[in-house]
Chains A and B, each alone.
Chain A
Amino acid sequence: MSKRKLSIFTKGFFKENPTFVLLLGLCPTLATTTSAINGMSMGLATLFVLVLSNIVISAIAPVVPDKVHIPVYIVVIATFVTILQFAMQAYTPDMYKTLGLFIPLIVVNCIVLGRAEAYACKNGIVDSALDGLGIGFGFTMSLTVLGLVREILGSGSAFGWKFISGDGILVFVMAPGAFIALGYLMVLFNKIAKKS
Chain B
Amino acid sequence: MAVKSNLTNMALCLTAVCLVCSALLGGMYVLTAEPIAKANADILKASIGAVLPEGGELSEAKTIQVGGQPSEYYVSTEGGSVKAYAVKSTVVGFGGPLTLMVGITPDGTVYNTSVLSHTETPGLGAKCTSDEHFYSQFKGFNPAEKILSVKKDGGDIDAITASTITSRAYALAVKNAVEAFKTIKGE
Residues of A within 8 A of B (CB): 34, 60-69, 71-72, 75-76, 78-79, 82-83, 86-87, 89-91, 93, 97, 121-122, 154-155, 167-168, 170, 173-174
Contacts and interface: CB of A to CB of B under 8 A. Distances in A.
A61 B39 CA distance: 38
Contacts of B9: 65
B17 to A, nearest CB: 5
B42 to A, nearest CB: 8
B5 A174 contact: no
Interface in B1-18: 1-6, 9-10, 13-14, 17-18
B40 A79 contact: no
Nearest to B35: A90
B29 A174 contact: no
B76 to A, nearest CB: 23
A34 B1 contact: no
Interface of B: 1-6, 9-10, 13-14, 17-18, 21, 24-25, 28-29, 31-32, 35-36, 38-40, 43, 117, 121-124
Nearest to A66: B2
B32 A75 contact: no
A65 B15 CA distance: 13
A62 B32 CA distance: 33
B160 to A, nearest CB: 12
A93 B39 contact: yes
Given A66-B5, A83-B25, A75 B122 contact: no
Contact of B124 (A69, A75, A83, A170): A170
Contact of A72 (B6, B17, B43, B124): B17
A89 B36 contact: yes
Contact of B21 (A61, A75, A90, A174): A75
A90 B13 contact: no
Contact of A68 (B13, B24, B25, B40): B13
B82 to A, nearest CB: 30
A167 B124 CA distance: 9
